[in-house]
Amino acid sequence: MHSYSVRDVERVLRLSRGTVRGLIDVGFVKPTRGARREYRFSFQDLIVLRAARALIQAKVSRRRIRRSLEDLRRHLPEQMPLSGLSISAVGDRVVVRDGKNQFQVDTGQYVLGLDVSVEDGMLRVVEHKPESATVAFNAKAAAEQQAQVWFEKALELESSDPRAALKAYEQAVDMDPEDMSAWINWGRLLHELGKKVEAERVYRRALEQPGTPDPLLLFNLGVLMEDLGRTGPALEAYQAAIGEDPMLADCHYNLARIYESLGKPQHAIRHLGQYRRLVSSETR
């Protein structure tokens, strides 16, 4: 089975190395390792990476993205078919077309359009936009594009210049306050740098934004509250996180640990059992 390097991903998908690393870190793809421990991506990984980027830009929730990508991967062939692929959103369904075959992938409403083909032996992945999206392009869309540029820049700067990365994440949320990925990474990086009070301020500001609270943001807030020694708020954050996404295994584990320390074994056993079930299902 043919595999692709990080450089191939950058060339074919036009995604920066930092963006690819960020999508791996949040678990949207799980590439294998080569002989020198380098990342190796399958054809399916490439399509899932590009779809993930499109869904993030469409402001789809992290939980829905993860579910959609899992469904998409199940309907993708292991190798690129000679007939090519067309992946598009039709109403509230993702449709994968492979020659004469057509599959519907259950998901939520969002904008997604990818054409995948082979030309002169080279894999091509091209995103196509519906006319309505082009007509609707306005100042808000321009701001969202700029926010994405700042977000990608921040990802690339995290390892080399974390302080500059913080400023880039701040620019991203200034341009697009509804971009939860930027809020989450901004708060996480502040926390990692020991700026816990500032991290809490960022998370709290993010929760004030319109829309459904992001479960990962709530989970990160819970971890921060624990580090600050605030057990009550940590429990509230973790409970809110699993309320949005009951599949957050690490959240159940942390709840089990806290309840055990509080002398509530029944609560601890329940969450530990759920954690074990989720971890077991992931390894099957």
Residues 27 and 119 in one domain: yes
Q: Would 168 be classed as within a structural domain?
A: yes
Q: Report the C-alpha gap between 206 and 180 in whole angstroms.
A: 7
Q: Which residue, of 135, 151, 177, is where some domain finishes? A: 135
Instruction: Please tell me whether residues 75 and 110 are part of one structural domain.
Output: yes
pLDDT score, position 248: 87
Q: Are residues 142 and 257 in the same domain?
A: no
Is residue 124 domain-shared with residue 143, that is, in the same domain? Answer: no
In a domain, 99, yes or no: yes
Q: Are residues 37 and 118 in the same domain?
A: yes
Written as one letter, the residue type at 122 is: M
Mark whether 156 and 178 lie in a shared domain. Answer: yes
User: Strands 85-90, 93-98: parallel, antiparallel or unpaired by DSSP?
Assistant: antiparallel
Q: What is the mean pLDDT of residues 220-237?
A: 96
Tokens read off for 52: 């993930």
The per-residue pLDDT for 30 is: 83
Kindly state whether residue 1 falls inside one of the protein's structural domains.
Answer: no
Alpha helices in 58-107 (DSSP H): 62-75
**Average pLDDT of the segment spanning 54-66:** 67
Asked whether residue 217 is domain-assigned, the answer is no
Number of domains present in the structure of the chain = 3
Runs of H (alpha helix) within the chain: 6-13, 17-25, 43-57, 62-75, 131-135, 139-157, 162-175, 180-192, 196-207, 215-227, 231-244, 249-261, 265-282
Positive or negative torsion for Cα 234, 236, 237, 242? positive
Residues 130 and 18 in one domain: yes
* Residues present in the chain in total: 284
Same domain flag for 95 and 12: yes
Max Cα–Cα distance, the chain, nearest Å: 66
Domain membership of residue 39 (yes or no) is: yes
| Range name among 49-53, 165-169, 226-230 with the lowest pLDDT average | 49-53
Residue that terminates a domain, selected from 101, 135, 169: 135
Q: What pLDDT is stored for residue 262 in this prediction? A: 94
Residue 22 forms part of a structural domain: yes
Q: 209 in helix, strand or coil?
A: coil
Shared domain for 130 and 148, answered yes or no, is no
- CATH number where 150 lies: 1.25.40.10
- Asked whether residue 95 is domain-assigned, the answer is yes
The answer to whether residue 279 sits within a structural domain is: yes
What's the CATH code of the domain at 97? 1.10.1660
The pLDDT score that the predictor gives to residue 123 is: 47
CA distance linking residue 26 with residue 62, whole number of Å? 9
The answer to whether residues 251 and 272 belong to one domain is yes
- Quick: pLDDT tens for 240-275: 999 988 888 899 999 999 999 999 999 999 999 999
- 128 and 178 housed in the same domain: no
pLDDT digits (tens, 9 = 90+) for 172-192: 999 989 888 899 999 999 999
Cβ atoms 223, 203 nearer than 8 A = no
The domain in which residue 188 lies consists of 138-211
Q: Looking at the structure, do residues 21 and 96 belong to the same domain, yes or no?
A: yes
Asked which of 120, 135, 150 is the last residue of a domain, the reply is 135
SS3 at position 95: strand
